[in-house]
Amino acid sequence: MKPRLTISLALFMLVLIVVGCSNEGTVDTESTEWKPEKPVEMVAPARAGGGWDTFARVVSNAIMEQGLMDQTIGVVNKPGGTGAVGWAYIQNVNDPHHIFSTSTTMVFSMLAGNSDYNWDDMTPIANLAADYGIIAVRADAPWETLDEFLQDYKENPESITVVGGNTPGGFDHVQFISLAMEAGIPMEEITYVTDQSSGGLPILLNGTVDVLSSKLGSGAVAQHRAGNIKILAVLSEERLDSEQLAGFPTAVEQGYDTVFVNWRGVYGPGDMTDEQVAYYEGVMRDISESEQFAAIRKQFGWDDLFMGSEEYTEFIRQEVETNSAIMEKLGLLAK
């Protein structure tokens, strides 16, 4: 078997089990020493409609609907630089009343040199979900399987254009490059374009491009249900359990050993106190364990992957190490 080209959650779960034993139970937000003293901003470091924005909004709405904060929480969009504008805003304001939605894309963007900040300049609060990568085409495309597409692509790479929601070096780009290289397609033969404003689905549907590299939570599942696209592969280790996702084949089962998971969580500024982190971690844990958020995960095709701040920090540390090696192999790691 070829080396896996992404995160192995299985190894990391061993760390979670050990660390989790000392962190059992929900943080009681009623007894935490610190609470927000004014409205909280949930910053989405992107335009409205993308993954960061969607995650920020569903989390903020859940907080309000469940009454988990005495203060209000609302979403503020700070797009630009594949997240860099939003991260700079968070650090410059440096206020615990400003938190932000994040994902694996943050790691790739920083490793690609898009930001002046590193992942540990800010504070991991909690992770709530895992959103797996996908490869999709229009419903009228000639390919019915991932292998059919990749074999055709290998023979005629100049005739096919791929779109993703991230700039080169971002999650969508790196996962497709990794899959293509697994299939024996040289990186320099791949035509990849970026659609940061809408994630790529609209220009896939209107025929501007041929293939979408994205995530389950991008809106692709709804378009598949509507009969507008075909999801050729989910980049998970195994088929997902939920009824609505179990029918999607994985790349692994089709002979391509490529797995990419886009974790989704919440960060804060760099100078947060332990009490501030504990407060938000407790709120996020309550959301994660709620029936409302279970329904949200099902709606967007996310897996349950909750981690508190300590576990999340160590997880991202391992992510950076793993993905640095991937980016270096692909020639995308910033010098």
A 10 A CB-CB count for 293 gives 22
Residues 174/332, Cβ–Cβ less than 8 Å: yes
Average pLDDT for 98-123? 94
CATH of the domain at 296: 3.40.190.150
Q: Do 250 and 145 share a domain, yes or no? A: yes
Q: Do 244 and 138 share a domain, yes or no? A: yes
How far is residue 133's CA from residue 314's CA, in Å, rounded to a whole number?
A: 22
Q: Do 91 and 13 share a domain, yes or no? A: yes
Q: Is residue 26 assigned to a domain?
A: no
CATH of the domain at 201: 3.40.190.10
Q: Is residue 24 assigned to a domain?
A: no
Q: Is residue 171 assigned to a domain?
A: yes
Q: Do 223 and 269 share a domain, yes or no? A: no
Give pLDDT, residue 25. 43
Residue 1 in this model has a pLDDT that exceeds 70: no
Give pLDDT, residue 27. 44
How far is residue 316's CA from residue 319's CA, in Å, rounded to a whole number?
A: 5
Q: Which DSSP helix (H) or strand (E) runs through 313?
A: helix 309-329
Residue 28 in this model has a pLDDT that exceeds 70: no
Q: Do 48 and 113 share a domain, yes or no? A: yes
Q: Is residue 2 assigned to a domain?
A: no
pLDDT band, very low/low/confident/very high, at 244 (cuts 50, 70, 90): confident
Length of the chain: 335
Task: Choose one of 202, 229, 254: the last residue of a domain.
Answer: 254
Residue 50 in this model has a pLDDT that exceeds 90: no
How far is residue 303's CA from residue 216's CA, in Å, rounded to a whole number?
A: 10
Q: Is residue 182 assigned to a domain?
A: yes
How far is residue 130's CA from residue 179's CA, in Å, rounded to a whole number?
A: 19
Q: Total structural domains in the chain?
A: 2
Q: How far is CA 225 from each of CA 228, 244, 263, 300, rounded to the nearest angstrom?
A: 8, 9, 24, 12
Task: Choose one of 232, 254, 276: the last residue of a domain.
Answer: 254
Residues 59/41, Cβ–Cβ less than 8 Å: no
Q: Which DSSP helix (H) or strand (E) runs through 211?
A: strand 211-215
Q: Do 82 and 230 share a domain, yes or no? A: no
Comparison of pLDDT for 188 and 143, the residue scoring more: 143
Q: Do 120 and 155 share a domain, yes or no? A: no
Q: Do 298 and 226 share a domain, yes or no? A: no
Q: Is residue 157 assigned to a domain?
A: yes
Q: Do 100 and 43 share a domain, yes or no? A: yes
Side-chain-side CA neighbours of residue 277 (13 Å): 21
Average pLDDT for 3-17? 45
How far is residue 224's CA from residue 137's CA, in Å, rounded to a whole number?
A: 10
Q: Do 246 and 154 share a domain, yes or no? A: yes
Average pLDDT for 18-24? 46
Q: Do 41 and 70 share a domain, yes or no? A: yes
pLDDT band, very low/low/confident/very high, at 11 (cuts 50, 70, 90): very low
pLDDT digit string, tens, across residues 126-147: 999 999 999 999 999 999 999 9
Q: Is residue 141 assigned to a domain?
A: yes
pLDDT digit string, tens, across residues 254-264: 999 999 999 99
- Per the structure, the complete domain to which residue 119 belongs is given by 9-18+32-131+262-329
pLDDT band, very low/low/confident/very high, at 330 (cuts 50, 70, 90): confident
Average pLDDT for 29-52? 85
Comparison of pLDDT for 31 and 180, the residue scoring more: 180
SS3 221: helix
Task: Choose one of 226, 254, 282: the last residue of a domain.
Answer: 254
Q: Is residue 239 assigned to a domain?
A: yes
Average pLDDT for 318-322? 92
Residues 101/129, Cβ–Cβ less than 8 Å: no
Q: Do 73 and 174 share a domain, yes or no? A: no
Comparison of pLDDT for 66 and 109, the residue scoring more: 66
Give pLDDT, residue 153. 96
Closest CA to 122 of 267, 21, 332: 267
